[in-house]
Amino acid sequence: MASRRRKLLKVIILGDSGVGKTSLMNQYPLAIEVIGSLILVMCLLFVSWYLSMFLGFVWVWPLTTLVRYVNRKFSIQYKATIGADFLTKEVQIDDRLFTLQIWDTAGQERFQSLGVAFYRGADCCVLVYDVNVMKSFDNLNNWREEFLIQASPSDPENFPFIVLGNKTDIDGGNSRVVSEKKAKHWCTSKGNIPYFETSAKEGINVEAAFECIAKIALKNEPEDDIYLPDTIDVASGGRQQRSSGCEC
């Protein structure tokens, strides 16, 4: 049976709690794949058990985020991410198929010690701030430095970042305190980091931002592809199904 080879692009989304990281993910309009690795699921379950038993924290399983994402709904009610949410999306760039693995990490300080487990192996880091909250913008540098320390990329000076100024829709833009000029100046000073102003609520610039994220992550990805076997249709008695498209 033919099998397909696909690149895995790992993306980390960072920013203060409440800036809208999860909402941005929910608006990204591509088909979703549920976590397929049993080993990874068991690891997440172990972390959940460890946090609840020894640290007194409750890990919220990413299922709620998956449901909101599939339905492409924006929730006005804010709910902080606990630990991290994990999603994978199948994307196509220049007629090639890729798996975009996105980690939405918690913005609370008490979870930053978990960063090293999530950041390692990342191909791109997305920094998100709220254009209406100056502190969230001021903290971008802290998030960037923390990521570089914990992820330990081989070439930290040239590691790809992207910055998203979110919640531009609030009060018609009258309540914003961080100007686009100020944000772009910061991005330029850090090596010309790509910058997008977004609204997760209105879906403004979200798709364009994630397309840029995927392309940036691809540039940082090694040449080796990952091996993905053909899917198995349980209903058909376990017979392998050929993947669509060209068989190589």
Where exactly are the structural domains of the chain?
4-222
Least confident stretch, 2-6, 23-27, 34-38: 34-38
Contact 124, 98 (CB under 8 A): no
- Tokens 């090694």, residue located: 222
Q: Residue 128 corresponds to which amino acid?
A: V
Domain 4-222 adopts which CATH fold? Rossmann fold (3.40.50)
Question: Would strands 161-166 and 195-197 be described as parallel, antiparallel, or unpaired?
Answer: parallel
> What are the tens digits of pLDDT across the range 136-186?
999 999 999 989 998 899 999 999 999 999 999 999 889 999 999 999 999
Q: Which residues pair with 105 in a beta bridge?
A: 84
d(CA 176, CA 179): 7
| Phi, then psi, of 61 in degrees rounded to 5 | -60, 140
d(CA 58, CA 51): 6
Q: What is the pTM of this model?
A: 0.67
d(CA 231, CA 238): 9
d(CA 122, CA 220): 9
C-alpha closest to that of 116 among 86, 82, 148: 148
> What are the tens digits of pLDDT across the range 106-147?
544 444 555 567 788 899 999 999 999 999 999 999 999 989
Give me the pLDDT at residue 190, please: 96
